[in-house]
Amino acid sequence: MTDTPVALVTGSSSGIGEAVVRRLSAAGMRVVVNSARSADAGRKLAESLPDALYVQADISAESDARRLVAAAVEHFGQLDVLVNNAGTTRRIPHSDLDAVTPEIWREILDVNLIGTWQTTVAAVPHLAKSKNAAVVNISSVAGSRPAGSSIPYAVSKAAIEHLTRLLAGVLGPGIRVNAVAPGLIETPWTKDFTDIAQYVRETTPLRRVGLPEDVAEAVLAMAGAGYTTGTVQLVDGGAHLI
């Protein structure tokens, strides 16, 4: 084990995850890039960084989650930071109850909640060996407000926030667990959210849509916040004030 931390970021071949990987790498960490698909993009990202590994794995499958963590530890010899960023959603109006099938519920919860759980459980024995271990979960403002791309997505993020608090209680003092909750962030996923983007620009105190780099800065801060655990850090331009 060396003094150079190793960070695993799930769902990190593009968008917020990519920005997080780049920021942690720039801060001097060795990083593991992951995606369930987009393997070419993931490999290219890893190859562009000083000390990075790409692992293709679908965290909704328990065997893949365990294989992902094992590959990270086998390659780097340690694991210090886990960023649970991988997620999925469907854009479904909250009032359209009939459109939300049990299959959609399972699809979203399998990745956003169960995948986060499986990856974290697999990582805990290795994180426990670190001198400054941290788990950072990516939530959303939809986890605490009646908002979000769909009801299942919002519920999954509410569950992530409570999971963060519960894990912080049982994994301390050796492992800190926090969450970052972005508002609307400009990513490939949200390119069609033009109506919401306009509302954000007109009403929030900072008058702009967030960038992936805004979230990455908050993740880096939470990864290094040695006396902080069980918290949810909003990154929403002040949207929670309106």
Q: Say whether 95 sits in a helix, a strand or coil.
A: coil
Q: What average pLDDT does range 28-41 have in this prediction?
A: 97
| pLDDT tens digits for range 55-87 | 999 999 999 999 999 999 999 999 999 999 999
Distance CA 1, CA 190 (A): 39
Alpha-helical segments (H) within the chain: 15-26, 39-47, 62-76, 102-109, 116-127, 151-171, 194-203, 212-224
Q: For residue 122, what pLDDT is reported?
A: 98
In the set 54, 153, 199, 227, the catalytic residue is 153
- Give the count of beta carbons closer than 10 Å to the beta carbon of residue 27: 14
Please state, for a pLDDT cut of 90, what percent of the chain lies above it: 87
Domain limits of the chain? 6-241
Check whether domain 6-241 has CATH 3.40.50.720, yes or no: yes
Check if the beta carbon of residue 149 is closer than 8 Å to that of residue 90. Answer: yes
pLDDT band at residue 201 under the 50/70/90 scheme: very high
The total of other beta-carbon atoms located within 10 Å of residue 162's CB is: 13
Give me the residues paired with residue 135 across strands. 82, 177
Active-site residue 153, yes or no? yes
Distance separating alpha carbons of residues 58 and 122, to the nearest angstrom? 14
What does residue 7 show for φ and ψ, rounded to 5 degrees? -120, 130
CA separation for the pair 95, 12 (Å, rounded): 32
pLDDT value, residue 233: 97
Give me 36's structure tokens: 């369930």
Residue with tokens 């210090």: 80
Neighbours of 241 (CB within 10 A): 10
The reported pTM is 0.95
* Average pLDDT of the chain to the nearest whole number: 95
- For 119-176, the pLDDT digits (tens) are 999 999 999 999 999 999 999 988 888 888 899 999 999 999 999 999 999 999 999 9
pLDDT digit string (tens) for 108-117?
A: 999 999 999 9
